[in-house]
Amino acid sequence: MYEALQQIDTLEQEAISKYDDKQYAKAATLYKRLIHYAEIKKDYVNIIRYVIMLITCYLEAKDYKMACRQVELYDYLFAHNVTSSQKKQYTLLKATLHIKTGEYQRAELYFQQLLQMSLDEDECWEIIQYGTQYMSLLHRMGQDDKALSIATLIEGYLEGQENRQVEQRAKFYVSYVAVLLKLNFAEQAQYYLTKANTLLATLPISKYHMYAQYYDICVCFALHAQTDFFARFEQVLQQLYAVLELDDYVWLLEDCIMRYEQAACYKEMAQLQKHYITLLTDPAYVTMKAQVKETVKKLHLSEAQKLAHYDSLTGVYNRYYLEKQAENTILMSRITDENCSCAVFDIDHFKKINDSFGHLAGDQAIQMLAQRVAQQIKGAPVLFARYGGDEFVLILSMPVAQAEDFIMSLYEELHETPFQLQGMELALTCSMGLVHNEHVQANSFQELFRRADEALYFAKQNGRNQLYIDQ
Cβ count near 414 (within 10 Å)? 19
CB 406 within 8 A of CB 398: yes
Q: What does CATH list as the number for 319-470?
A: 3.30.70.270
Helix (H, G, I), strand (E, B) or coil at 1: coil
Rounded to whole angstroms, the Cα distance separating 434 from 448 reads 10
Residue-level pLDDT at 254: 84
Candidates 323, 306, 313; CA nearest to 369 is 313
Q: What does CATH list as the number for 1-120?
A: 1.25.40.10
Cβ count near 398 (within 10 Å)? 19
Candidates 469, 395, 406, 459; CA nearest to 430 is 459
Helix (H) or strand (E) holding 419: strand 419-421
CB 259 within 8 A of CB 269: no
Beta strands in 299-381 (DSSP E): 341-347
Residue-level pLDDT at 129: 92
Helix (H) or strand (E) holding 142: none
Residue-level pLDDT at 2: 47
Helix (H, G, I), strand (E, B) or coil at 424: strand
CB 454 within 8 A of CB 433: yes
What's the Cα-to-Cα distance from 393 to each of 24, 342, 345, 396, rounded to whole Å?
Answer: 41, 7, 7, 10
In the chain, the amino acid numbered 85 is: S
CA atoms within 13 A on the CB side of 282: 13
In the chain, the amino acid numbered 259 is: R
Spell out the domain ranges in the chain.
1-120, 319-470
Residue-level pLDDT at 425: 77
| Per-residue pLDDT of the chain in tens (471 residues, 90 and over written 9) | 445 567 788 899 999 999 999 999 999 999 999 998 888 887 888 889 999 999 999 999 988 888 988 888 888 778 766 788 999 999 999 999 988 888 888 899 899 989 988 888 888 889 999 999 999 999 988 899 999 999 999 988 888 766 678 899 999 999 999 999 888 898 999 999 999 999 999 999 888 888 888 888 888 888 876 667 788 888 888 888 887 777 788 888 888 888 888 777 878 788 888 877 877 777 776 676 666 666 666 655 566 666 678 887 888 889 988 988 888 888 878 777 889 999 999 999 888 888 888 888 888 889 889 988 988 888 788 999 999 899 999 999 999 999 999 999 999 888 877 777 766 777 788 999 999 999 988 888 999 999 999 999 999 999 988 999 987
Rounded to whole angstroms, the Cα distance separating 226 from 119 reads 42
Residue-level pLDDT at 242: 81
For strand 430-436 and strand 467-470, is the pairing parallel, antiparallel, or unpaired?
A: parallel
32 CB contacts (<8 Å, ≥6 apart)?
54
Starting at the earlier edge strand, list the strands of the sheet with 430-436. 382-388, 391-396, 341-347, 430-436, 467-470
- The beta-carbon contacts of 242-248 under 8 Å, at least 24 apart in sequence, are 243/207, 243/210, 244/207, 245/62, 246/279, 246/284, 246/285, 246/288, 247/100, 247/102, 247/288
Rounded to whole angstroms, the Cα distance separating 394 from 376 reads 12
pTM of the model: 0.60
**Sign for the pseudo-dihedral over CA of 450, 455, 456, 460:** positive
Concatenate the DSSP letters of all residues of 247-304 into one string: HHHHHHHHHHHHHHHHTT-HHHHHHHHHHHHHHHT-HHHHHHHHHHHHHHHHHHHHHH
Rounded to whole angstroms, the Cα distance separating 75 from 405 reads 29
The 8-class DSSP code of residue 78 comes to: G
Residue-level pLDDT at 447: 92
Helix (H) or strand (E) holding 470: strand 467-470
